[in-house]
Structure 1
């Protein structure tokens, strides 16, 4: 299967949302705790091992990073839309200074509320651990604002196939019990598990129509 995300390129790293590329076209944001494997997932999805910076020190990336994607099939008579992936700063690593954590809390909140080109969120969660406060906040925000969300349960290679399947089933049951609407899948960047499925999920999000501003209740 060909990779629809192949050809992704670094555009810029922004300290504030005002520094991001023009708010037009379509983009999908990636969010997750600092040690959940977000950079590795981005590299696996794009087929570019060095696209997102990975580090043995979680929390190293403290900027919003924009990657451009090749335009989708052009509609006759119309210019191809801008399509992007946005890597949001990893959250929750204790060694990040408090001032920096507060800055990114405000910037991520503003980004999710104000960014009109945002079509969906990919939330990176370590399959071996229950949902953390940050994960729940993101899920609740997406639900409240009707922003589509797709979970990648990463590091599935650390579990047996049966354990991974059970973890996914338990999460889906939890979603149903709590009334949350998000899709989820098993994923491993190192083993290649679920990579094609995740690529298609990202493309589906990019094709989502823009349903007005993502204005909902404040978190």
Structure 2
């Protein structure tokens, strides 16, 4: 495998309503999860330099499918359904939780999980739930604090430090990394690409 991921070559391949309809287990993939209004689609579009790759919707919670984007050489990005949106029915929330937990625990080619959070509202209930599932599955996690342009540099750095402190206090800072990010200003893009490249090009670590 070449030692570079060409993010700008990403293209949509398929949607899956559950893990049973996901593509065959092969290669490596990195998944993106996040609250419906956290800027997940915008982050994916910035990462791939393609404003139309992941559909951004004015109606949060609309994407209820697992969406796959091929990067080439058996590497993929995965856009997981947005969560935590109040207007989604209880049954839909329960189905989402069941599917996401199953995906994180059972998808063998999943190399890492990016959890997207609005820097102004980090570590919400559903975020913590997803992070805990990933920890249970021994899955490396990268927290992406998006919309950093909405805060001045000082408050943004304070939030970053607070999140890092909470991870250290929980004893999970060895499995979880965190950064600030702005899709609007493309700030933090190099760091995100570097993290995902490392996950996709490393050899599988077993569990």
Which interval holds the TM-score relative to the shorter structure? over 0.9
Equivalent residue, structure 1, for 2:203: 209
Q: What is the RMSD of the two structures over their aligned residues, measured on CA atoms?
A: 1.4
Runs in 1 of length 4+ with deviation above 3 angstroms?
Answer: none
- Give matches, 1:119-130, under 5 Å: 119-130=111-122
Deviating more after overlay: 140-149 vs 160-169: 140-149
Contact residue 122 and residue 145 of structure 2 kept, 8 A: no
Give the equivalent residue in structure 1 for 2:39. 37
Give unmatched runs, 5+ long, in structure 2.
Answer: none
Which residue of structure 2 aligns with residue 66 of structure 1? 68
Alignment of 1:1-219 (within 5 A): 4-71=6-73, 82-181=74-173, 182-213=176-207
Mapped partners of 2:122, 2:131: distance in 1: 14
User: Does the CA contact (< 8 Å) of 1:64 and 1:89 recur in 2?
Assistant: yes
Q: With structure 2 as the length reference, what TM-score do the two structures score?
A: 0.93
Q: Which has the larger radius of gyration?
A: 1
Equivalent pairs counted in the alignment come to 202
Provide TM-score, normalisation by structure 1. Answer: 0.88
Q: What are the ranges of 5 or more consecutive residues in structure 1 without an aligned counterpart? A: 72-81, 214-219
State the Cα distance separating 1:210 from its structure 2 match.
Answer: 2.3
Residue 76 (structure 1) aligns with = none
Residues 79-127 of structure 1: CA deviation (Å, up to 9, x unaligned): xxx1111111000111112222211111111111111100000000110
